[in-house]
Amino acid sequence: MSVAPGRMFPMTDATALASQAAYTEAVATAARAAAAYYADGATPLDDDVYDQLVRAIESYETAHPEHVLPQSPTGKVAGGTASGDVPHSAPMLSLDNVFSVEELAAWAAGLERRLGRPVAAWCVEPKLDGLAVAARYRAGRLTRLITRGDGLAGEDISHAGGSILGLPETLAEPVDAELRGEVLLTQDQFEQANTTRTAHGAAPFVNPRNGAAGTLRAKDRPYRIELTFFAYGAQGLAGGLAHSELLGRLAELGANTAASTAAQPRRCETVAEVQARIEEIARIRAELPFGIDGIVVKADAAADQELAGSGSRAPRWAIAYKLPAVHRVTRLLAVEWNVGRTGVIAPRAVLEPVVVDGATVTYATLHNPADITRRGLLIGDQVSVHRAGDVIPRVEAPLVQLRTGAEQPIEFPEVCPRCGDAIDTSQQRWRCVRGRGCQAVASIRYAAGRDQLDIEGLGGTRAVQLVDRGLVADVADLFLLTREQLLTLDRMGATSSDNLIAAIEAAKAQPLHRVFCALGVRGTGRSMSRRIAQHFGSMAAIRAAGVDELAEVDGIGPEKAAVVVAELAELAPVLDKLALLGVGVGEAVTARPGAGAGAGAEAVAEGPLAGQAVVVTGTMSGPLAQLSRTEVNELIERAGGKASSSVSKRTSLLVAGEKAGSKRAKAEELGVRVLNPEEFAELVGEFLN
């Protein structure tokens, strides 16, 4: 992640409030969201959106101070929605925010103007994404634990004291003091918490922060959830310590601090150094074992802090440099089950697209079936999605409070979705019992298919037999099969053996594009294979091509080209065998630069509609609904057919939608085959876009 100058994510400009009515509504929305956020975390707004809203409210209030509403969240700790009955020894404040390095520099300059001198030094540390607590110690023993509340008084949560790592029951010295810091769930603790909760029939936590809040408040739970404490402040310890010295002192007393992590607090002399450290922490954010939602910059010296003082909501000597939210709420649309090369069957969430940390996320990992159960997910749920840096996006949990009742259970496969054989569910990661053989069966079936090598007599069960008997492990092995070997298979007589051998022999002469297609390289269906074959002219040339050359083929971008190159490299042993056997060398089509998508002469002779005269009538539906009549006609031509407008003896096929009328009657009279738009779309599926 880079924090180069400029805004890291869209800010308030677009959401400036134009009128008092808009302001009133914004205040109401923010107040509702904050109330939900500090109560149970079930807010429909993402943090970024909430922050933007509050900024817009603030700027409106600056311009119209006479119109400020009393329920406005600005200037208040927790937006004024939290409270408590244990008074704090000194206010527990929030932090003001900046969103760019320019704003940070302006804030630092403002602080120095206020002080009338340069800030002696800064301390830069992670902004831990949890909840602030005050821990009171008497003679070194923990006596009371209190939430931040409204900043002036909080709730007593002493019951939680025993399950917080890094918050000692007894300090290393018998001091009377109050430690302040953040309580959070690390990623591991969050996963563990949700396993425990779902096992007890409780709803999983939406995200670690929400989980920490719920856990601190809860009493009398039948299970224990472990949390972690990071100290960053204190009351009642010897005064005059710089912040960085105080952190050292807290660690000496036995409390956990961020110094124990890769995002260690660092003392910086200049704002440039501060920016560099911010950038470092932002860069390692995704690898930290706990969540951070920003980086806190503090004036280090006690004298600077004292002179700057505090406002009602936040100290003036510290600022939070916010990072883009890595948690987003979106809808779970479906779960797909993909079988990997080794037969592992992995679920994948299909999401309503959402931008998280700068990238659009449409898929997220669900790890394994137990993971789905642990999270208690349903199709249609609003879910919290996490993504940071290059980390694979993951679904964290459903927001059960937002369910409508229309959610559906997730169906788990009963047989391998690729080969149809049984699933081994004895491990967390489900596997096809066929293991690597699953891939072999699937790839051989695919290779023998009508649009590839077109080997009749090599359907599903035959492919399974051949793989199970160890006769075939890849496409090339097919061409080494002997009649004698085939005769040893169940239900395989002399005639079927001869026929299959003949079909395989014939397949040797299949043109290059079909042999290439038979390899099953990802993203290269029938028409793409044709284009690649036409472009390069021989398998040797295709294999010799690099990413750049492949990317020149119509329809292959650099990313797809890289996939093709990588998969071909993996297929090298198969390709070597095929070359030795002389498969895929027949009828090499000469390279035709610029040949379009399946539009060449070959395409016309090859598609599912090859040589057919097709008429379209009525209203198109299904996948064809979006197409104009011209587009449907183009589709027919791409698929090898000829589009015509009237039904006659020469018509091969009529595609009849709703309100088809006289053409349909005539076709039926002439005995012409009639398909509805859906059936037709299936027939020409591959050519649809």
Ligand X SMILES: NC(=O)c1ccc[n+]([C@@H]2O[C@H](COP(=O)([O-])OP(=O)(O)OC[C@H]3O[C@@H](n4cnc5c(N)ncnc54)[C@H](O)[C@@H]3O)[C@@H](O)[C@H]2O)c1
Residue numbers at the binding site for Zn ion (CB under 5 A): 416, 418-419, 421, 432, 434, 438
> Least distance from C-beta 316 to ligand X, angstroms?
14
> Least distance from C-beta 189 to ligand X, angstroms?
17
The annotation status of 48 as a binding-site residue, yes or no, is: yes
125 interface partner picked from ligand X, Zn ion, none, CB below 5 to 8 A per type: ligand X
The annotation status of 438 as a binding-site residue, yes or no, is: yes
136 interface partner picked from ligand X, Zn ion, none, CB below 5 to 8 A per type: none
Q: Is 278 in the site for ligand X (CB under 6 A)?
A: no
Q: How far apart are CA 593 and CA 262, in angstroms?
A: 54
Q: Which residues neighbour 654 within 8 Å (Cβ) at sequence distance 6 or greater?
A: 614, 615, 616, 617, 647, 663, 664, 667, 672, 673, 674, 675
132 interface partner picked from Zn ion, ligand X, none, CB below 5 to 8 A per type: ligand X
The annotation status of 268 as a binding-site residue, yes or no, is: no
- Total residues binding ligand X (CB under 6 A): 22
Q: How far apart are CA 482 and CA 293, in angstroms?
A: 65
Q: How far apart are CA 478 and CA 79, in angstroms?
A: 70
Helices 572-581 and 558-570 pack at an angle, to 10 degrees, of 70
In the complex with ligand X, which residue's Cβ is closer, 228 or 465? 228
The annotation status of 432 as a binding-site residue, yes or no, is: no
In the complex with ligand X, which residue's Cβ is closer, 292 or 660? 292
Q: Applying CB under 6 A, which of residues 88, 111, 127, 553 lies at the interface with ligand X?
A: 127
The 67-96 contact track toward ligand X, x by CB under 6 A, reads: -----------xx--------------xx-
Q: Which residues neighbour 521 within 8 Å (Cβ) at sequence distance 6 or greater?
A: 563, 564, 567, 568, 571
In the complex with Zn ion, which residue's Cβ is closer, 54 or 416? 416
438-446 long-range contacts, CB within 8 A, separation 24+ = 438/339, 438/343, 439/339, 439/341, 439/342, 439/343, 440/467, 440/472, 440/473, 440/474, 441/467, 442/339, 442/418, 443/474, 443/475, 443/520, 444/472, 444/474, 444/475, 444/478, 446/518, 446/520
> Least distance from C-beta 388 to ligand X, angstroms?
16
* Residue among 294, 268, 264 nearest 282 (CA): 294
The annotation status of 47 as a binding-site residue, yes or no, is: yes
In the complex with ligand X, which residue's Cβ is closer, 26 or 366? 26
The annotation status of 298 as a binding-site residue, yes or no, is: yes
Tell me which residues are annotated as active site: 127
Q: How far apart are CA 195 and CA 159, in angstroms?
A: 22
516 interface partner picked from ligand X, Zn ion, none, CB below 5 to 8 A per type: none
Q: Which stretch binds ligand X (CB under 6 A): 20-28, 37-45, 393-401, 496-504?
A: 37-45
> Least distance from C-beta 163 to Zn ion, angstroms?
44
* Residue among 366, 368, 401, 369 nearest 382 (CA): 401
Q: Is 107 in the site for ligand X (CB under 6 A)?
A: no
What b/e string do you get for 82-107 counting C-beta neighbours within 10 Å, with b at 16 or more? bebebebeebbbbbebbbbbebbbeb
Q: Is 125 in the site for ligand X (CB under 6 A)?
A: yes
The annotation status of 123 as a binding-site residue, yes or no, is: no
Vertex 284 angle, CA 279 and 289, to 5°:
140
Residues contributing to the site for ligand X (CB under 6 A): 33-34, 37, 43, 45-47, 50-51, 78-79, 94-95, 125, 127-128, 132, 148, 182, 232, 296, 320
Q: Which residues are annotated as a binding site for NAD(+)?
A: 47-51, 94-95, 125, 148, 182, 298, 322
Binding residues for Zn(2+): 416, 419, 438
